[in-house]
Amino acid sequence: MNTLLTAPAAPRPYALDAAGVTLSAILAEPAPGTAPRSTILAVHGRGMRAAYWNSFVPLATALGHTVLAVDRPGYGESANLLPEGLTLAEQADTLHAALKEHARTHDIGAGVFLLGHSDGGKVALHTAATDGSVPLLGLDTSGTGYFYNPEALHFPSTLGGGATKLNWGPLNLYPRGTFQASRALLSPTPPRESAETIHWPRQFEALAPRVRVPVRLTFAEHEFWWQLDEPTLAAMTARLTSAPTTTVAHHPAAGHNITLGLTAPAYHLRVLTFLEECLMVPAAG
């Protein structure tokens, strides 16, 4: 592929108009003059920012995909406009509006591939379950389960440091300097988002049957937020009745924040392999 022989364009700050709400984002495109094969909407987790996906960008763009890593509604530039944030469903509606506007001015390739992490995976699932005007190719989430681990049910604050074990797992799974550098990624979780966290299992049950794209659910070896026993995971996939395929993947030597860890390159390769499989089937409109 020619895209492997030419350096991609440098990632740049980007603003998305989402029906009157301006979302800050990072836009990374393939080499100048190269049409993107697809557009990957990368959705960060609770208390994070779009730069969580920085390490994913070079490989994805080198393989010919555009990466649109967005600060979710209530984060980044939209935090002042939405100080209370939005519910997960409202965030999905806002992202659909942003994608529609982006597609009006940019080539999105074969369609949009949803990539979510943690609470961003919840938003990605809502987005996949909501009708929009942009074709969707598939959905890969990491760290987004069904039922919470009982030890996580007090939902400790990321900024307050109470979620260290839940978010990271063993600290030797991350490159030196990760924890100091990651402080720049942290952001307060909007109140409306936090308030509905406890209701996620019921929300998932309602939206799962409406997801009509291939789904891949990735869980780190040291994932402590979620119950990951086989019956629970089987119950989760069983609810995705309209998804053409549903896969559960377990990623070794990683904690909840897979993309910041030493084994992130392996995870990213598996995400992009799944995207290749999604490109073989028609996109969902």
Instruction: List, for residues 26-66, the tens digit of each pLDDT value.
Output: 999 998 888 999 999 999 999 999 999 999 999 999 999 99
More confident residue, 42 or 161: 42
Percentage of residues in the chain having pLDDT higher than 70: 94
More confident residue, 200 or 160: 200
More confident residue, 165 or 172: 172
Query: Please, are residues 114 and 128 in contact by the beta-carbon 8 Å criterion?
Result: yes
Structural domain includes residue 285: no
> Hey, what amino acid is at 20?
G
What range does the domain containing 96 cover? 2-278
pLDDT digits (tens, 9 = 90+) for 50-60: 999 999 999 99
Structural domain includes residue 284: no
Q: 């969707």: which residue's tokens? A: 136
Query: Please, are residues 44 and 193 in contact by the beta-carbon 8 Å criterion?
Result: no
Q: Which of 269, 46, 115, 259 is nearest to 173 (CA)?
A: 259
Among the listed ranges 71-80, 148-157, 253-262, which one has the minimum average pLDDT value? 148-157
| CATH code for the domain in which residue 7 is found | 3.40.50.1820
**Confidence at residue 158, expressed as pLDDT on a 0 to 100 scale:** 62
Total tally of structural domains belonging to the chain? 1
Contacts of 102 (CB under 8 A, 6+ apart): 16, 39, 68, 108
Backbone dihedral angles phi then psi of residue 68, each to the nearest 5 degrees: -115, 95
Structural domain includes residue 182: yes
Strands 215-222, 246-255: pairing kind: parallel
- CA distances for 12 relative to 68, 69, 183, 256, angstroms: 10, 10, 21, 27
Structural domain includes residue 52: yes
Local confidence band at 257 (pLDDT 50, 70, 90 cut-offs): very high
Among the listed ranges 34-38, 148-152, 257-261, 263-267, which one has the minimum average pLDDT value? 148-152
Query: Please, are residues 218 and 267 in contact by the beta-carbon 8 Å criterion?
Result: yes
Local confidence band at 183 (pLDDT 50, 70, 90 cut-offs): confident
> Hey, what amino acid is at 42?
A
184 class by beta-carbon count within 10 Å (0-12 exposed, 13-18 middle, 19+ buried):
exposed
How does DSSP assign 76-101, residue by residue?
GGGTTT-TT---HHHHHHHHHHHHHH
Local confidence band at 2 (pLDDT 50, 70, 90 cut-offs): very low
Structural domain includes residue 283: no
- The answer to whether residue 72 scores a pLDDT higher than 80 is yes
Percentage of residues in the chain having pLDDT higher than 90: 78
Structural domain includes residue 30: yes
Structural domain includes residue 29: yes
Q: 């009509």: which residue's tokens? A: 212
